[in-house]
Amino acid sequence: MTSELESSLTSMDWLPQLTMRAAIQKADGQGGHGPGAAKKGALLDPSTTLDQEEAQQHKDGKPPYSYASLITFAINSSPKKKMTLSEIYQWICDNFPYYREAGSGWKNSIRHNLSLNKCFLKVPRSKDDPGKGSYWAIDTNPKEDTLPTRPKKRPRSGERASTPYSLDSDSLGMDCRISGSASPTLAINTVTNKVALYSPEQDGSDSPRSSLNNSLSDQSLASVNLNSVGSVHSYTPVTSHPEPVSLQQPPPQPQYSMPERDKQLLFSDFEDLSASFRSLYKSVFEQSFSQQGLMGMPSESTQQTHTSCSYQHTPSSSISTHPHSGQNNLTNSIASGGGPVPLSHSAHNSPHGQHLSHTQHPQQHPTHTQHPSQHTQHSQHPSQHTQHSQHPSQHTQHSQHPSQHHQSLSHQPHPPQQQLSCTTGHLADWYPNLDALKESCRIASSYNWADVDLSPFQGLKESMRQAELNNWSLEPTQIADLCSSINQFFARTGVIQPQGSVQPPVCHSSMHPSKPSQHINTGNMYMDSRQNMPPLMGPPGYPHMPPMSSAGPTMTGHHAQMNQQHMISPGNFQIRRMPADDIQDDFDWDSIV
DNA sequence: TTCTGTTTATCCAAGT
DNA sequence: ACTTGGATAAACAGAA
């Protein structure tokens, strides 16, 4: 039996037959990319499921899937997107009779894969769900940078030292990075190990075999939970190599409906949004209103404001500099496959065709920031948050260091997000601007709002308060509204410039060392988090937030600096900058250098 | 005891 | 030749 398995699983002749919806490219699986690519693609999508048809095709013979694929299929077939080992066994046996008679060696391999492959997360059972073994889920956000979750395999002669433990995205990243349908409640602690935590309510009777279709159904985002989960380390998705996936993805073979993709996007992009908002809320309203005797915040709301674990949406690096985002967490991180990462998945499907299709928002500004024509002197798109280019060569050097951004970003044709078709209405419109908004939040948080009259923003304050009370678990539309309100708030208070040059008060000191900057950290963080993210960008449809110039953080920091000078004291709102020390940013550039 | 999970070692096929 | 990714086997430890 093992011999049969061996021959079947190791041979590549089955690759063309792979059908893994998203990742798979039946169309050109063996075309330009070759078997290797196809092979890789086979595991690209953590949310891949097995088609009934496919299953039927391989009923009799050796399934042309790798064990990792089988596991993925199995897990994804479960409504809960998690399965116990025995369930996985069962599912495989049920769907591939071959394994029923294949002895037990394959089970060992399954276990081996589960343990070895970072894509798979062990999910502890809940207390009320006793049983043997843990659940296994798919990590859509495998940590791929920094510390390995496990010691590297002891190198031996002739063996690569980086795999399979390597965080090298080419291997694991490829397999797992793509956004999937991970449950929003899935928490990953990538610092200590791969651990996923499901909310108790999610534990329940799975129906592993009930479905062969993957969907976000039961775990889709009924609401975007921006809540932070306290003590767990936030995930730091790093998409050092987002493109490989996309490159291998044949264009339009979308596994997800666009709404689903959007949902995934939401998670990725809102990962630290809650932190930003929360931070803003606390820094601005809490501070201000408390002094004005208007505060009505629950004490708990302040508890999570600053945590040591910071999450940073770092498309191409693991840098985490946003202190306020520390509250972020897992809950948020999961979903998205690393935020940007998943984007690449779809982004490449139609690198150009989908360029900004979010037009549903009534308020949407006709000319989007990402429009190439608006980028005056830079090849890079300021609004792109950056996920880095789709060119592998560019990813290889995704250094987070500002000085290197210029080069590495200059070729990015389209930011993944840009290419997404946003279909979730208001929220979708914010996709390209979330980072900017978050950045603004962060910047705003560094101000001293104590003496600022925020009474005109009672509504916003109340909204945020409610959000706080709800642990930032908001509906997409609510988030969108909140984004708009906050953005408006920023515009009015001068945090961002309402019109004309919309550069936010962000300095990229690293880019302009000669200029003293109060935002050194900000600048760093900014670039760090979104290497080519525009300092600030108005939401589509926000009239006074015209598209940013192409001034990317790595390229035209001087604009931001200049603006900062006069925006800090905006009109009626005299804002005192907090001492530099108060500015949240403990990021150490040296650490990544 | 069995199952589960981790780890190490080795082999093979394919790619570079 | 070397690297890479996957498969297989096995040893081992811990939990149910």
End-to-end CA distance of chain A: 50
Whole-angstrom Cα distance, residue A422 to residue A420? 6
Nucleotide nearest to A133 in CA–C1' terms: B4
Q: Measure, in angstroms, how far nucleotide B9 C1' is from residue A157 CA.
A: 12
Note whether A44 and A243 are within 8 A (CB).
no
Residue whose CA lies closest to nucleotide B2 C1': A132
Check whether residue A136 has its CB closer than 7 Å to nucleic acid strand B.
Answer: yes
Report the candidate in A36, A73, A144 with the shortest Cα–Cα distance to residue A395.
A144
Residue-by-residue DSSP string for A228-288? --SSSPPP--B-S-HHHHHHHS-TT--SS-HHHHHHHHHHHHHTTHHHHHHHHIIIIIIHH
Q: How far is the CA of A159 from the C1' of B6 (A)?
A: 20
What's the CA A103/C1' B1 distance, rounded, in angstroms? 20
Q: How many CB atoms lie within 10 A of CB A569?
A: 12
Q: What is the pTM of this model?
A: 0.36
A275 C-beta neighbours (distance < 10 Å), count: 33
For residue A359 the two structure tokens come to 């037009």
| Residue nearest the C1' of C1 (CA based) | A158
Distances (CA, A) of A132 to A129, A438, A439: 10, 43, 45
Answer whether any strand C atom is within 7 A of the Cβ of A106.
yes
C4 nearest neighbour residue (CA to C1'): A160
- A329 near A232, Cβ under 8 Å? yes
Please list the pLDDT of chain A residue by residue as tens digits (593 residues).
333 333 333 333 333 333 333 333 333 333 333 233 333 333 345 566 666 666 666 666 777 888 988 898 888 888 888 889 999 998 988 888 888 888 889 999 999 999 988 888 888 887 777 788 889 988 766 554 333 333 333 333 333 333 333 333 333 333 443 333 333 333 333 333 333 333 333 433 343 333 333 333 333 322 333 333 333 333 333 333 333 333 333 333 333 333 333 333 333 344 455 666 666 666 666 555 444 443 333 333 333 333 322 333 333 333 333 333 333 333 333 333 333 333 333 333 333 333 323 333 333 333 333 333 333 333 333 333 333 333 333 333 333 333 333 333 333 333 333 332 333 334 444 444 555 566 665 666 666 666 666 666 766 676 777 766 666 666 555 666 666 676 667 666 666 654 433 333 333 333 333 333 333 233 332 333 333 333 333 333 333 333 333 333 333 333 333 333 333 333 333 333 333 333 333 444 344 43
Alpha carbons A103 and A118: distance in angstroms, whole number? 26
The SS3 assignment for A294 reads: coil
CB A319 within 8 A of CB A237: no
Reduced to 3 states (helix: H, G, I; strand: E, B; else coil), residue A136 is strand
Q: What pLDDT does residue A107 have?
A: 92
Q: How many Å separate Cα A471 from the centre of its chain?
A: 20
A192 strand B contact, CB < 7 Å: no
The answer to whether A16 CB sits below 7 Å from nucleic acid chain B is: no
Q: List strand C contacts in A 179-218 (CB < 7 A).
A: none
Residues 2-61 of A with CB under 7 A from strand C: 2, 5-6, 8-10, 39-40, 42-43
Question: A63 with A17: CB under 8 angstroms?
Answer: no
Long-range contacts of A198-206, Cβ-Cβ distance < 8 Å, separation of 24 or more: A198/A80, A198/A82, A198/A123, A198/A126, A198/A135, A198/A137, A200/A126, A200/A127, A200/A128, A202/A80, A203/A80, A203/A125, A203/A126, A203/A128, A203/A129, A203/A135, A204/A80, A204/A129, A206/A78, A206/A79, A206/A80, A206/A82, A206/A83, A206/A87
For strand B, list residues 142-171 of chain A whose Cβ lies within 7 Å of it.
Answer: 150-151, 153-154, 156, 159
Task: State residue A564's pLDDT score.
Answer: 36
Strands A135-138 vs A120-123: parallel, antiparallel or unpaired: antiparallel
For chain A, state the CA radius of gyration.
23
Question: Å from A132 (CA) to B3 (C1')?
Answer: 8
8 A C-beta contact, residue A313 and residue A168: no
Peptide bond connecting A208 to the previous residue in cis, omega within 30 degrees of 0: no
Handedness of CA A242, A248, A251, A252 (dihedral sign): negative
Contact positions of strand B to protein Cβ (< 7 A)? 3-16
Across-strand partners of A137? A82, A121
Q: Which nucleotide is nearest to A7 (CA to C1')?
A: C7
Query: What is the three-class DSSP state of A166?
Result: coil
Q: Which nucleotide is at minimal CA–C1' distance from A157? A: C2
| Cβ neighbours for A45, distance < 8 A, ≥ 6 positions apart | A20, A21, A22, A23, A24, A72, A178, A180, A255, A345
Only one residue has tokens 């993957």, namely A214
Quick one: pLDDT at residue A80? Answer: 84
Q: Is the CB of A157 under 7 A from strand C?
A: no
A436 CB less than 7 Å from any atom of strand C: no
CA distance A162 to A158: 12
Residue A92 and residue A63: Cα distance in Å, rounded?
Answer: 10
- C strand bases under 7 Å from protein CB: 2-11, 15-16
Residue pair A90/A209 in contact by the 8 Å Cβ criterion: yes
Q: Which residues contact A144 (CB under 8 A, 6 or more apart)?
A: A118, A167, A168, A169, A172, A173, A177, A238, A239, A240, A241
Closest nucleotide over all strands to A37 (CA to C1'): B15
Taking a C-beta distance cutoff of 8 angstroms, is the pair A278, A441 a contact?
A: no
C-alpha span between A329 and A395 (Å, rounded): 26
Give the 3-state secondary structure of residue A55: helix
Q: Judge if the beta carbon of A112 is closer than 7 A to nucleic acid strand B.
A: yes
CA of A34 to C1' of B16 (A): 13
Per DSSP, the three-state class of A139 is coil
